[in-house]
Amino acid sequence: MRSVHAESCTLSASIPMPDPHVTRRICSRCIKSFTKAGRIVNGKPVCPTCGNATRPPVICVACTRSTRRPVRSEAHGGLICEPCARRNTHATCSVCRRHRPISRRNDDGYPLCRDCAGAVPVTHSCPICGRTIPGGGLTPCASCGLRRRTMRAVHAAAEDLRQSWAKELLIAFHESLDYGRMPGDMTRRVAASATFLASLDSVLSRPTEIDQTTLIDLHGREGLRRQERLVTFLVKRLGLSWDARAGAVHSARRVTLAALNESIDAGWHEDLVAFSATLRQSARPLSDRTVKSYVSAARGLLEAAGIEHASDLTQRHVKSWLRHRPGRTNDVYCFLSWLKEAGGPELEVRFRAGKTVRVRECATLRKAKTFIDQLTACDDPRKGRALLAWAITTIHGVRLEKVLAMRRNDVVPKVDRVELRIDDTIVDLCPILSNAFLRFADRSADMPFAGRAGIAPYSVDSARYFLRGTRIKNIKKASYRA
């Protein structure tokens, strides 16, 4: 040590000076000077750090991995690697959830570190939110740590976006999330949301150009369902108008058009286009979803047959395709009827024998009784809304899609019951269903059967999901005879 006087602040400080009596060597591998004992490799000195890299690898007797820094273990009877040596002495503390040396284990056998094993466990405050958490140090709590790591990834993903408004939407969306209730892989969530906004960033120039039609065209209904939180954020942040019924119609038309465009190179493409045009111009109005179902069934049949023209279709092709798809019989029958009227071959399909009126009435009574029993014992609002929609559909014979798409002005409360106006049909609910409607219907949203996001009603798939556990088919028919 030598005392040096500084001219700028007129103070003196002690600085270390090299000892002239200590021999210093230059490492032949990293060209750094060192004084501690190292190794001699090929007649040249190397420092202790480089000496470990020049050692021959040794196979660990515990995990059979190669290591250059082995540790002798009497328990294993040989040399083991450092991870195996630390496995018996280090673990994740069951209280502070940090990887530390094990001090002891609790009564249940879970490891405890030194800070958490004392009579008075050590705690500290989260430097971000101030919440008291176990363990020492300055580490944040789990939710704040997750938010900090996620926002770091969000800012890195935002740099790949081209326009500033897309970057602001990505950052604002993740800042609005509650990370304390967001389990799962946040890295995958960030990448998915960044990809979703990147598609908008590549085709739009302003955020005011975003609307429901654009989102459906770019991502489809399934893509919007997967990014439900992000779509809900965009609707509320940008003030978008969202109509679930119009969205379903546009999505069905989009799928039908995609099916026609994907088969443009096939020889039967003109026949499929003519069939689609006939469905839209029929005297009996068909919904876009029905047209999509008919066109997709016809395309699947023609593709599986491997023919050049629709007139080459045979009975063997129809039977082979319907063998694994019995639920598409009605769709294929519509296409075969059109093909017969267009001068094609006369083909037929076999329908299953229909049930008698009494059997259908008994089945309806069983379903209605089951739904009412489930509604009476249900405590979950989301499941209760789904069961209520199924009960209205079963008892009053209204399509499930129309029941789910009702608005608040379609509900007319009476003195002792609730009246529903579904299209041109007036449905008077019985007292049991009226009480269930007042109990489970969502009054905060514009739709009685609003979904989790609140901007669209339940889908048919969501209603079917909550139908699990009703066990309608397992009920004995003798219990509910008409």
For residue 369, the domain's CATH number is 3.90.15
143 CB-contact burial (10 Å; exposed 0-12 / middle 13-18 / buried 19+):
middle
Of 314, 341, 368, the one marking the end of a domain is 341
Residues 207 and 232 in one domain: yes
Cβ neighbours for 293, distance < 8 A, ≥ 6 positions apart: 331
Residues 282 and 305 in one domain: yes
Residues 43 and 73 in one domain: no
Of 242, 271, 299, the one marking the end of a domain is 242
Q: CA 458 → CA 242, 380, 385, distances in Å?
A: 14, 15, 9
Is the residue at 98 inside a domain? no
Domain containing 170: what range?
144-242
Is the residue at 31 inside a domain? yes
| Structural domain total, the chain | 5
Is the residue at 369 inside a domain? yes
Residues 373 and 462 in one domain: yes
Residues 163 and 217 in one domain: yes
Is the residue at 129 inside a domain? no
Residues 322 and 385 in one domain: no
Residues 158 and 222 in one domain: yes
Is the residue at 109 inside a domain? no
Residues 327 and 389 in one domain: no
Residues 393 and 463 in one domain: yes
Residues 285 and 221 in one domain: no
CA distance 52 to 58: 12
Are 456 and 351 in contact, with CB atoms under 8 Å apart? Answer: no
Of 242, 274, 308, the one marking the end of a domain is 242
Cβ neighbours for 321, distance < 8 A, ≥ 6 positions apart: 300, 301, 304, 305, 332
Residues 365 and 476 in one domain: yes
Q: What is the pLDDT along the chain (482 residues), one digit of tens a residue?
A: 555 555 555 555 555 555 555 567 888 888 888 777 667 888 888 887 787 777 788 888 888 888 887 888 877 788 888 888 887 788 888 888 788 888 888 888 888 888 888 888 888 888 888 888 887 778 888 888 888 888 999 999 999 999 999 999 999 999 988 776 666 678 888 999 999 999 999 999 999 999 999 999 899 888 888 888 899 899 989 988 888 778 888 888 888 898 899 888 888 999 999 999 998 887 777 888 889 999 999 999 999 988 888 888 999 998 899 888 888 888 899 999 999 888 888 888 877 665 566 777 777 888 888 888 888 888 888 888 888 888 888 888 888 888 888 888 888 888 888 888 887 788 888 888 888 888 888 777 778 888 776 777 888 878 888 877 655 544 433 333 33
Are 409 and 422 in contact, with CB atoms under 8 Å apart? Answer: no
Written as one letter, the residue type at 429 is L
Is the residue at 13 inside a domain? no
Position of tokens 């989102």?
Answer: 215
Residues 334 and 377 in one domain: no
Question: With the C-alpha atoms ordered 214, 218, 223, 227, is the resulting torsion angle positive or negative?
Answer: negative
Is the residue at 266 inside a domain? yes
Is the residue at 65 inside a domain? yes
Whole-model pTM over 0.85: no
